[in-house]
């Protein structure tokens, strides 16, 4: 099993550009999450999903959108990138709502 | 509102013990503990649920005081590999008990273990 994979690993965006952060898991987990982590800070939940076709907002959803068309994939869309979205983005999945398995992260810089 | 962790940083020598605390102002359904090494993803350590159930690594122990909405992580006989930042994540109750793993994380406690 590859676990949770994220692409790209690094990305630099100009203000106003858009992009999609990819997240995939091969463990057949129903629950998936997107977090952002600013330098020296804890993680903040952006969006989560309890299964294919079902998503809901987390703590900091503004400026982001998600979709979940399959169990495996949970992409995060950034529209009109702003410097405040400079962060490390982690995707996670969970089989039981107990432990969450994190991907390696995407480091995004918006300039 | 995010939970508050204390201390912010701890420095130990190998073999010493440490306690990391996590306190919330909200009623909690569960408390989760994760460790993150520099430049890496967080790794699950333990979950403690309201009612006493818990699951985690064998060498890690923790407690959850439901009345005070506080949790403590106990690291005993520390090893160099214990170094990293420890985060607690709290989950408040949802309509059916759980809120589907929606965690609010603390600011982290940096643990450094020296030889």
| Predicted confidence (pLDDT) at residue B95 exceeds the cutoff of 80 | no
Where chain A has pLDDT below 50, the residues are none
Are the beta carbons of B100 and A105 separated by less than 8 Å? no
Q: Average pLDDT of B22-45?
A: 95
Q: From the candidates A42, A45, A107, which should be mutated to test the interface with B, based on the most B CB atoms within 10 A?
A: A42
- Per-residue pLDDT at B53: 80
Of A42, A56, A58, the CB nearest to B2: A42
- Per-residue pLDDT at B14: 96
Cα(A106)–Cα(B85) distance, rounded to whole angstroms? 19
Q: What does the mean pLDDT of chain B come to?
A: 92
DSSP B41-60: --EEEEEEETTS-EEE-TT-
Candidates A60, A66, A68; CA nearest to A85 is A60
Are the beta carbons of B105 and A42 separated by less than 8 Å? yes
| Predicted confidence (pLDDT) at residue B58 exceeds the cutoff of 80 | no
Q: Average pLDDT of B58-84?
A: 92
| Predicted confidence (pLDDT) at residue B109 exceeds the cutoff of 90 | yes
CB A100 within 8 A of CB A90: no
Of B41, B87, B101, the CB nearest to A42: B87
- According to DSSP, the β-strands at B109-114 and B9-13 are parallel
pLDDT digits (tens, 9 = 90+) for A22-48: 999 999 999 999 999 998 889 999 999
- Per-residue pLDDT at B100: 84
Q: Average pLDDT of B41-63?
A: 87
Q: From the candidates B2, B45, B103, which should be mutated to test the interface with A, based on the most A CB atoms within 10 A?
A: B103
- Which residue on chain B is closest to A97 by alpha carbon? B101
Candidates B104, B41, B44, B110; CA nearest to A107 is B41
Q: Strand locations in A26-104, DSSP E?
A: 31-37, 43-51, 54-57, 64-66, 76-78, 87-94, 101-102
Cα(B47)–Cα(B99) distance, rounded to whole angstroms? 14
Of A43, A58, A99, the CB nearest to B47: A99
- Per-residue pLDDT at A76: 98
More confident residue, B1 or A36: A36
Cα(B63)–Cα(B49) distance, rounded to whole angstroms? 10
| Predicted confidence (pLDDT) at residue B90 exceeds the cutoff of 90 | yes
| Predicted confidence (pLDDT) at residue B94 exceeds the cutoff of 90 | no
Q: How far apart are the first and last CA of chain B?
A: 37
């Amino acid at each position: 099993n590859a676990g949770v994979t994220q692409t790209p690993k690094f990305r630099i965006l100009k203000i106003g550009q858009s992009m999609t952060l990819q997240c995939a898991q091969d463990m057949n987990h129903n629950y998936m999450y997107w977090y952002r982590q600013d330098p020296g800070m804890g993680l903040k939940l952006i969006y989560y999903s309890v299964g294919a076709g079902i998503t809901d907002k987390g703590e900091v959803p503004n400026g982001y959108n998600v979709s979940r068309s399959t169990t495996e994939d949970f992409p995060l869309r950034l529209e009109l990138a702003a410097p405040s979205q400079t962060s490390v983005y982690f995707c996670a999945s969970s089989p039981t709502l107990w432990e969450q398995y994190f991907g390696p992260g995407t480091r995004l810089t918006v300039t | 509102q995010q939970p508050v962790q204390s201390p912010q940083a701890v420095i130990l020598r190998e073999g010493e013990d440490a306690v990391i605390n996590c306190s919330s102002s909200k009623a909690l359904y569960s408390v989760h503990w994760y460790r993150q090494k520099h430049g890496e993803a967080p790794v699950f350590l333990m979950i403690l649920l309201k009612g006493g159930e818990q699951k985690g690594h064998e060498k890690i122990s923790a407690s959850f005081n439901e009345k005070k909405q506080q949790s403590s992580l106990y690291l005993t006989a520390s090893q160099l590999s214990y170094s990293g930042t420890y985060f607690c994540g709290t989950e408040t109750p949802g309509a059916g008990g759980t809120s589907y793993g929606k965690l609010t994380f603390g600011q982290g406690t940096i643990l450094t273990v020296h030889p």
